[in-house]
Structure 1
Amino acid sequence: MTFEELSLNKSLQRALIDQGYTTPTPIQEKAIPIILKGEDLVGCAQTGTGKTAAFAIPILNHLHHMVGSSKKAKKVRALIVTPTRELAIQIGENFEQYGKYTNLTQLTIFGGVSQVTQVDQLKKGVDILIATPGRLLDLNKQGFIDLDDLHFLVLDEADQMLDMGFINDVKKIVKLTPDNRQTLLFSATMPMAIRELADTLLKSPKYVTVSPVSSTAETVKQKIYFVSKLNKRKLLYHLISEENLSGVLVFSRTKHGADNVVKALKKHGVKAEAIHGDKSQSARQRVLESFKAKETTVLVATDIAARGIDIDQLPYVINFDLPNVPETYVHRIGRTGRAGHEGIALSFCSADEKPYWKDILKLTNVHVKTVDNHPFPYTDEELKEEAHSSANAKKKPANRSGSRPNTAATEPKAEKKPAAKSSPKSRKSASSKENKKRWY
Structure 2
Amino acid sequence: MIHSHGTRDREPVRIALTGANGGYGRTLLAQLRRTPELVPAALVEPDADGMRRTLAELGLDDTTVVTDGAAVDWRGVDVLVEATGQVAVGTGYAESALDNGVHVVMVSKEVDTVAGVALAAKAEVAGLRYLPGDGDQPANLLRLVDWVSATGLEIVAIGKSGEYDLVFDPATGTVTQAGVSIDAPGLADLLELGPDPRSTVDRRAALVAGLKRSAAADLCEMTVVAMRTGAVPDTEGLHYPVARIAELADIYAAREDGGILGRTGVVDVFSALRLPGEASFAGGVFAVVRTGDPVTWELLRGKGHVVSRSGEYACFYWPYHAMGVETPLTIHAAVDGTGVAPRPRPSTLLAARTATALDPGTSFQVTGHHHEINGVAPVMVAPTAGIAPYYLLGGARLGRAVAAGELVRLDDLDGVAPGPLAAWAASTASSREPGV
Same fold (TM over 0.5): no
**Greater per-residue strand proportion:** 2
Larger Rg: 1
Normalising by structure 1, report the TM-score.
0.30
Normalising by structure 2, report the TM-score.
0.30
**Greater per-residue helix proportion:** 1
